[in-house]
Structure 1
Amino acid sequence: MRVLIVNYEFPPVGGGAGRASWHLCRELARIGARVDVVTSHGTRNFYYHLEGARIYSLKVRRKSVHETGIRGMAEFLIRAFFLIRRLVRENKYDLIHYFFSIPTGLLSFCVGRSLPFIVSLRGGDVPGYNPGELRTMHRLLTPVNRLIWRRADAVVALSDDLGRFAKQIEPTLNYQVIYNGADTHLFQPSEIPRNTGGPVRILTVARLLELKGIQYLLEALSQLPKDQFHLSIAGTGYFETALKRKTALLNLTDSVAFLGPVAHHELPRIYCHADIFVLPSYGDSFGQVFTEAMACGLPIIAARSGGVQEFVENGINGFLVPPKDVKSIADAICRLASSRDLRNKMGQNNIQKIKSQFGWDAVARQYADVCNHILERRN
């Protein structure tokens, strides 16, 4: 099977969807697929091999390492249009897999209907799911988005929550849920015992955006004794200045550390140094950082919103709290902070859950099954 994957973000730029496409192309190649990837980078055009896959990366001006912006998306569409048409002429692909229906799925119109394609819904590409600077673009392109979903041979949603939201926009939509995996080779529990004394170490890892809900975590911590916890925040984003200002206003400066950008390969060390992972996001379709933290044996506190509800069971491997509910966040932290046994039990439950359900090899096989089903149906 020969597959072309198209995603405007790919490591080292972008977020969870970029890393997901990186893992997917690598695992598909390992099980025998021939994989090409069209993506973008911030500095130059270049081509390289990645463990059996060929990567074509186009120069696109980005707002930052993590954010493409509308102009960057437009540049990618223009440059990718010509590259994809050439690659399709030169290679006998069996199908194309577009990460994001908007903007990437727009490129499906340049190929025609002879080549089947899959669209992966990631969250920000579904109108209204996590509105931000793309709100106006979504309003204009919703009819086009619906047409892309109808034309696709398969639509894969990152969570059932996201798929159900998309179905409200396009009632005829049939979708399949395939979760992101966790890199269990990189993210593993520490062999060194966790905190045996001193403040409880709380961690959050995220792009610092308003919808990540970290402002509510700070407010919750301001209600707790400051000598009993320490919060580390890993990541950058436009909301960082506001969060630092709030930290100072709440008199939390000595109890909160902003770590800035952390390289992906450094994240396991940070996870394994923590006792609790907290991210009260109210706009994530999945949240890759949750599965990374779970793989490292951390109990989770998350908002009852988005896809995280589908793999965090309240009271079993973490706590789910109402979105933006400061008191509930504080109460959940207190429950975990007061019981090392509860933290360890939930952490072990998470390790087992990740091993049994979220390996990238299993995720790749699910996508391969979707591809094979499409090709059988076409033939």
Structure 2
Amino acid sequence: MKLCYIISEINKAVYFEQTALQLKAQHIDVCYILINGTNGELHRFLSENGLTVYTLETPGILKSTKAIFACRKILKEAKITHIHCHLALANWIGLWAGKLAGVKTRIYTRHSGEPLNIHWKERLIDRIQNRLATQIVAISGIIDELLEKQGVPAKKRVIIYHGFDLDRFAHPNAEEVVRISGDYNPDRQFPVIGVIARWQELKGIQYIIEAFQELLKTHPDALLSLFGASDNADYSHEISRLLKQLPERNVRVVSFENNVYDLFQLFNLYVHVPVNPTCEAFGQTYVEALASGIPSVFTLSGIAREFITDRENALVVPFKSTEAIHQSMLLLLNDRTLSERLVQNGRVSVRELFNFDRYIAQLKALYIS
């Protein structure tokens, strides 16, 4: 078996880094094709760890023909027997290239749920990719249901949850915690409400901002820390407008922080509230927050539907409910016994389902099946 991972438009991703190290440790012959990721953090990481990396650049799916044939050439010359594609451009280019190169095992992982508004072109792309793939990895039950609705037969679908280095989240680096606190909360404001999400309408950040505005009436020193900020996301204008209604000292906006393991220690509370059950495909941040021991407020979207229980490992709020988010923040700040119980149960609940050994074992079984 000669395996090739094809990944598109990723600069830094701990998930892919850890997977690469584990596959190497398992003596799996794997190389990488990075699309629009040349000289990024992932490119450097793979190269520094002795893995073969090829790079391709393309403006997008509509102008991807050249990239498809370049990818096909790499697959044929490297005598690849298995491909595993991740993310939109990689799925399209990799699956077509694999088919044209005669690669018999063509896998892609479905990382996306249903957008709030889906275009017919997206439906067509999904249909073509589902046909080109010989196996599709669903990262949660909701994605498996979505694939079933799209007509993908059961024998072609497999559910594999993401794996995490849970011990690393549970044991933060003290020096990094100090550095992160100094960078993002130099005045030691309290409480710090953490959010890590792209600025899209489906993430529900707008409801968090409104709830935080209410929280300031009782906690005027609170800090809303928004990570994942972007000026060009589909909801950036509206989020920016809402943030202007808050005092500047009570908001910290950050586009990206490399160290996700220790970042959660900045937060006293964590909030992640996607707006419906299916818009979140998985939601790594659910697992990361609980693994880090941060009391959290969630809506049940993506993977949360399969393991989050209200008042057992997190507080669950209805979709699009500013008032419920606000009241849950107050409850966690005022009820230390509840918060401590959620932290303890949260760590237990993620350990069995999302440990990395289980994840790698399921990948290996997929590749040799």
Q: TM-score, normalised by structure 1?
A: 0.80
Q: Give the aligned partner of residue 64 of structure 1.
A: none
SS at match of 1:26: helix
Moved more, 45-54 or 300-309: 45-54
The AA in structure 1 aligned to 2:201 is E
Partner residue of 1:315 out of 308, 311, 315? 311
Check if 1:122 corresponds to 2:115.
no
CA contact (8 A) 2:95 2:132 kept: no
Superimposed CA distance per residue, residues 306-349 of structure 1 (whole angstroms, 9 cap, x where no aligned partner): 22222322211102222111122122212211112222221222
Contact 2:61 2:89 in 1 (8 A): no
Please say which of residues 2-11 and 223-232 is displaced more in the overlay.
223-232
Cα distance change, pair 159–180 in 1 and its aligned pair in 2 (3 A): same
Distance 1:140 1:2, change over 3 A: same
Are 1:101 and 1:119, in contact at CA under 8 Å, matched by a contact in 2? Answer: no
Letter of the structure 2 residue corresponding to residue 104 of structure 1: N
Please name the residue that 2:298 is paired with.
Answer: 302
Is the CA contact (8 Å cut-off) linking 2:192 and 2:224 kept in structure 1?
yes
Question: Which residue does 2:185 correspond to in 1?
Answer: none
Task: Specify the alignment match of 2:335 in structure 1.
Answer: 339
Deviation digits for residues 61-96 of structure 1 (CA, Å, limit 9, x no counterpart): xxxxxxxxxx43445x34542332222222232311
The Cα of 1:368 is off from its aligned counterpart by 1.0
1:264 match: 258
Secondary structure of the residue aligned to 2:60 is: helix
Q: CA deviation at 1:119?
A: 1.7
Q: How does 1:1-379 map to 2 (within 5 A)?
A: 1-12=1-12, 19-41=14-36, 49-60=47-58, 71-74=59-62, 77-100=64-87, 104-112=91-99, 114-123=103-112, 129-131=114-116, 135-136=118-119, 139-140=120-121, 142-170=123-151, 172-173=153-154, 174-184=156-166, 186-190=168-172, 199-228=190-219, 229-237=222-230, 238=233, 239-249=235-245, 251-258=246-253, 260-265=254-259, 267-282=260-275, 283-373=279-369
1: distance between equivalents of 2:319 and 2:90? 29
Contact 1:9–1:41 at 8 Å: present in 2 too? yes
One-letter code of the match for 1:109? W
Q: Which moved more, 1:209-218 or 1:219-228?
A: 219-228
Q: Per the alignment, do residues 8 and 309 of structure 1 end up closer, same or farther by CA in structure 2, a change over 3 Å counting?
A: same
Query: Where does structure 1 differ by over 4 angstroms across 4 or more consecutive aligned residues?
Result: 42-48, 189-194
**Would the alpha carbon gap of residues 185 and 361 (structure 1) be closer, same or farther in structure 2, given more than 3 Å must change?**
same
CA change 1:170–1:291 in 2 (3 A) is: same
Partners of 1:8 and 1:359 in 2: CA distance: 25
Q: In the TM superposition, what is the alpha-carbon distance from 1:167 to its structure 2 partner?
A: 1.6
Structure 2, unpaired ranges of 5+? 182-187
Give the conservation status (yes or no) of the 8 Å contact 2:9–2:36.
Answer: yes
| 2-structure distance, mates of 1:122, 1:310 | 17
Deviation of the 1:367 alpha carbon? 0.9
Q: Distance in 1 between matches of 2:269 and 2:68?
A: 45
Letter in 2 for 1:357: L
For 2:103 and 2:335, locate their aligned partners in 1 and report how far apart those are by CA, in whole Å: 59
The AA in structure 1 aligned to 2:287 is T
Letter in 1 for 2:18: H
CA contact (8 A) 1:58 1:79 kept: no
Which amino acid letter does the alignment assign opposite residue 25 of structure 2? R
Q: Distance in 2 between matches of 1:190 and 1:43?
A: 30
Cα pair 2:142 2:303 within 8 Å, conserved: yes
Alignment check: 8 A CA contact 2:83 2:106 kept: yes
Counterparts of 1:302 and 1:144 in 2: how far apart (Å)? 31
1:50 positional shift = 4.9
